[in-house]
Amino acid sequence: MKTTMRTLLRIGAIALAAGVLATPAVGDERTYPNLPTEIPSHFTPTNPGFDYERRTVDIPMRDGVKLHTVIVVPKGAKHAGILLTRTPYGADGMGHRTDSPHLDTMLRGYDNPADIVAQDGYIRVIQDIRGKNGSEGDFVMNRPPIGHGNPTDIDESSDIYDTIDWLVKNVPESNGKVGIIGISYDGFEAMIATIRPHPALKVAVPINPMIDGWMGDDWFHRGAFRQQMIPYIYGMVNSRQSNIGWTTGYRDDYDLYLKGGSAGDIGRAYGMEALGFWQKVLAHPAYDSFWSEQALDRIAAKEPMTVPTMLVHSLWDQEDNYGDMAVYRALAPRDPNHEKLWLVLGPWRHAKTWENASRIGAIELGSDTGKTFRQTMLRPFLAQYLKDGAPKADIAPVNAFVTGENTWRKLDTWPSSCRAGCAPTMQRWYVQADGGFGTGEPVSGSDDYVSDPAKPVPYRVRPIQSWSHGVADREDSWPEWLVDDQRQFATRTDVLTYESPVLDRPLGVSGEPLVHLLASTSGTDSDWVVKLIDVYPDEVEEKPSMGGYELPVAMEIFRGRYRQGYDKPMALTPGKPLDYRFPLPTVNHVFQPGHRVMVQIQSSWFPLYDRNPQTFVPNIFNAKPGDYRKATQRIVRDGRHGTWIELPVTQGSSSER
């Protein structure tokens, strides 16, 4: 310290002697001009060797708001189709992920079909939606269409219309044909584009779209709140740039949410009362008009079908496994000649379609199913509508991957197991005494367990990491939890397990399994979680690590207060057996010989879903610590009037178990 100070004093003395640090006297006219800046007022990169040109423009909407848009044009493009994606996640990043001069490398990443764009020479357009990142205006989460909870004169459809109108008039390299594609929130944008569409919109591909946030996408599942989506809401709504991150001092989200109290308490602790969408969630815990009016499957069912649309569903979608199938069920009956609607069911997690998809978690799929989808289904489908003179695509109305068998099937309708329309047979499989599961009617009886909100059943093996779009090959990451081995949970006393004998022939299931519980609780409210599981043989020679693996095929939760109507929360009668009926997510699976069929039943799935206090309160977001109480849960076996799962069994499958 002394040496440093001495040195500084010596330097100062020298400077003073040279007059450098002298203070001008009063009236001194000397000036000290700045050195000239080395940054030009404008610089245009020459980009030598680039095979594309990147442009940015702010496109004006009908109300004067300008939306930030990235336009990537392949070098030498003429009469090229435009492939549009609209996103809240940052158009600049999605339209310029690396400094590569090559189009296919530069575009690789989330929601970019880079190989198809490069192969077929599409003009790639990515736009920030209203109110996010570089775009002006106000952000509204999943802004509803005009007239459906939206009293204004603008919505996402009008913004898409105005964007397409500008593009076809101002991008000289285009042929005037536009397609829209997107995953998740961007898939919501792709779906909503088909409502009151611009004439130049020729094709839409919604992949894993957000369609109904209450029934089974993102925010709720059958009334249970998806608590681990709180950080997503926090990040999306707290700023235009989504640059205020969610932080905690916990490695294990189980501890964070258990100690935090109700989901409402956690939101208040993080100051989320200032976030408009969070306030809407708190105010609408039931399926009232706020949710039902903006459900896109209901809206699309009333609109003309004018845009050819390919719906892409992931069989293990951990975020949006409800909406695309709901849209298909709403629209397929209106398209008997297969002219406007196509469906793809793939063995994927959410947003897996652009990546190598030869496996998911520990499950090997036998081929790169993502590449197969892109090259044999998506590419010819887009080309038919976007490329001048392209042939009609030879694509089946339904392309469905069969998990457990690892094959693609070309079908005309869904659910089906063959091109001729082999509809599945709904077959009752009963929970039986001593933990059995099969088609034989059980003797009367019941099975009990105690559900304790202070010790809820985790949805995956702890420690449970925070929600994220993390790297899927990490064991603690979010994306592939839906294929986690379930055997750890079967060891808990608050999880009931029912298992079939070893299968001696294949058992195929295609469609939605239907749950029928006859159950009682000693409380006045209850959640019910049901899991359909494929149990591998104890020894798997080709891959020993899979021995005894319990692979989830379909899992879902139901909040008991809504048993008489999703818009009518009602207290349950303590001790009285009541019927609960709800579907599991879509399956397309073959249980192979040597495997077993298992069902697990429990009353919490934490912290993925908020805890049910098991005491009826008007709004669980406001539940107090004293409301959370233990309850004895009883699953009733009573012959044909008891508890069963209806499996959509395909032809040729075993039916005697």
Please name the CATH architecture into which domain 223-288 falls. Orthogonal Bundle (1.10)
Residue 613 carries which side chain, given as an amino acid letter? Answer: P
**Domain 425-649 in the same topology as domain 52-214+292-411:** no
Residue 64 carries which side chain, given as an amino acid letter? Answer: G
3-state SS string for 173-189: CEEEEEEEEEECHHHHH
- State residue 25's pLDDT score: 52
pLDDT < 50 stretches in the chain: 1-23, 469-473, 654-657
Q: How far, CA to CA in Å, does 290 sit from each of 35, 213, 284, 560?
A: 61, 11, 7, 21
- State residue 29's pLDDT score: 57
Domain locations in the chain as residue ranges: 52-214+292-411, 223-288, 425-649
Secondary element (H or E) of residue 3: helix 2-18
pLDDT tens, position by position, 160-172 = 999 999 999 999 9
Q: The sheet that has 174-183: what strands, in order across it?
A: 52-60, 66-74, 123-128, 80-87, 174-183, 201-207, 309-314, 341-346, 398-402, 407-411
Can you tell me the distance from the alpha carbon of 656 to that of 360, in angstroms, rounded to the nearest whole number?
Answer: 31
Can you tell me the distance from the alpha carbon of 351 to that of 113, in angstroms, rounded to the nearest whole number?
Answer: 11
pLDDT tens, position by position, 26-50 = 555 567 778 999 999 999 888 888 9
Which two three-digit tokens encode residue 437?
A: 């599961």
Place of tokens 């909870």: 149
- Residue range 425-649 forms a domain whose CATH class is mainly beta
- Residue range 52-214+292-411 forms a domain whose CATH class is alpha beta
Q: What is the DSSP string of 77-105?
A: --SEEEEEEEESS-HHHHT-SS--SSHHH
Let me know: does 457 contact 450? Beta carbons within 8 Å.
no
- State residue 94's pLDDT score: 86
- Going by C-alpha positions, the residue among 159, 218, 216, 219 that lies closest to residue 184 is 218
Phi and psi, residue 628, nearest 5°: -85, 110
Let me know: does 357 contact 371? Beta carbons within 8 Å.
yes
- State residue 105's pLDDT score: 86
E strands along 152-259, which residues? 174-183, 201-207, 220-221, 224-225
- CB neighbourhood size of 189 (10 A): 30
Task: For residue 378, give the DSSP letter.
Answer: I
